[in-house]
Amino acid sequence: MLEARNITVKRGSKVLLSEASVAIVPGRLTALIGPNGAGKSTLLRVMAGEFRPTEGSVHLDGEDIRSISAARLATRRSVVAQSINLSFPFTVLEVVMLGATVPGFGVRELEAATSARQALRAVGLSSFEARTINELSGGERQRVHIARALCQLSAAPRPSSETAALLLDEPTASLDLKHQADVLAVIKEQSKNGRAVLLVIHDLNLAAAFADDIVLMADGRIVGRGMPDDVLNEDLLSHTYGCRLRIETGIDGRRLVFPSAITDRLSKGAVAE
């Protein structure tokens, strides 16, 4: 279990996070949602161990991550950040292998390549391994970095009792509809295989379709948490996002969220015709 306890982050007089607590557990996919500037990415970065919160602490299987070395932490959690700008001409396979050639892992080159190829297969980029990363589209690059994070967790030497956490900051932001679904299926598969997954995502319908748990944030605070059906209710979301939202139930019983501004237009158009 990766657990953020009462995290407060201040930058000068600005409060980015205020007593936020989140726990992600192996086998479940937790989606972190909320309007722009809610503090989702900041919370993810604190949980990744990227920087120390002003107050509060992060624990991995009960152990404060401040007492875990960078190399050992890397065997137990991997991160896909929002935008990664790589200006050196690595090939796709080389980038993914960076996930497995971590100094402390002691993974041999050949094993690293095997792990990397498996991860590339998982994100559907097997035929891209010799391409240079600068030649790829934004969406393809995003999938390469997801493969790198998967490769890191699969190649790392780690006792099975330890939690392996995968943290992703809007991994579907630059993807088209097909690849959004494909990538989320890969991420969902990871959680089914026992990873603890935290996913920052803007698309509420994708969150509803894939998440086991949803955490809703606004203004640096956590304002709702629970199963998708509990959190995705009209009043809570409309209040949090500051606009009227309509929630429908899809054929399979999952929630579908629409801004009323859109549904109103659609229904007006229908009337006019």
Partner 1 sequence: MTTLDAKLASAGTAVRPSRRKVFVALTFLLIASAVLSLAIGPTGISLQALPRAIAVSLGYTDDLAAARDRLVLIDLRLPRTLLAAFVGAALATSGAIMQGLFRNPLADPGLVGVSSGAALAAVATIVLGQGIGAPLIAPLGIYALPIAAFGGGLIMTLLLVSIAARQGQLAVGTLLLAGLAIGALAGAISSVIVTASDDRQLRDLTLWQMGSLSGASWQKVFAIVPFAIAIALLAPRLTRGLNGLLLGEAEAMHLGIDTERIKRIAIATTAAAVGAAVAVAGIIGFVGLVVPHIMRLISGPDHRVVLPGSAILGASLVIFADIVARMALRPAELPIGIVLALVGAPVFLHLILKRGIGGSE
Residues lying near partner 1 in the complex (CB under 8 A): 45, 48-50, 70-75, 77-79, 81, 84-91, 94-95, 98-99, 101-105, 130-132, 134-135, 152
Name the residue nearer to partner 1 (CB basis): 119 or 237.
119
C-alpha 45/C-alpha 53 separation (Å) is 10
Nearest partner of 133 among 175, 166, 78, 84, judged by Cα: 84
Determine how β-strand 77-80 pairs with β-strand 165-169.
parallel
Say if CB 100 and CB 115 are below 8 A apart.
yes
C-alpha 91/C-alpha 71 separation (Å) is 24
Name the residue nearer to partner 1 (CB basis): 75 or 142.
75
Closest separation in Å from C-beta 261 to partner 1 = 36
Closest separation in Å from C-beta 53 to partner 1 = 16
Name the residue nearer to partner 1 (CB basis): 86 or 227.
86
Closest separation in Å from C-beta 273 to partner 1 = 46
Closest separation in Å from C-beta 231 to partner 1 = 28
C-alpha 68/C-alpha 176 separation (Å) is 38
Name the residue nearer to partner 1 (CB basis): 84 or 185.
84
Closest separation in Å from C-beta 210 to partner 1 = 23
| CB proximity list for 131: less than 8 A, separation 6 or greater | 91, 92
User: DSSP letter string over 144-211?
Assistant: HHHHHHHHHHHHS---TTS--EEEEESTTTT--HHHHHHHHHHHHHHHHTT-EEEEE-S-HHHHHHH-
Name the residue nearer to partner 1 (CB basis): 113 or 206.
113
Token representation of residue 40: 């989702």
Closest separation in Å from C-beta 52 to partner 1 = 12
Name the residue nearer to partner 1 (CB basis): 34 or 99.
99
Tell me the three state secondary structure of residue 29: strand
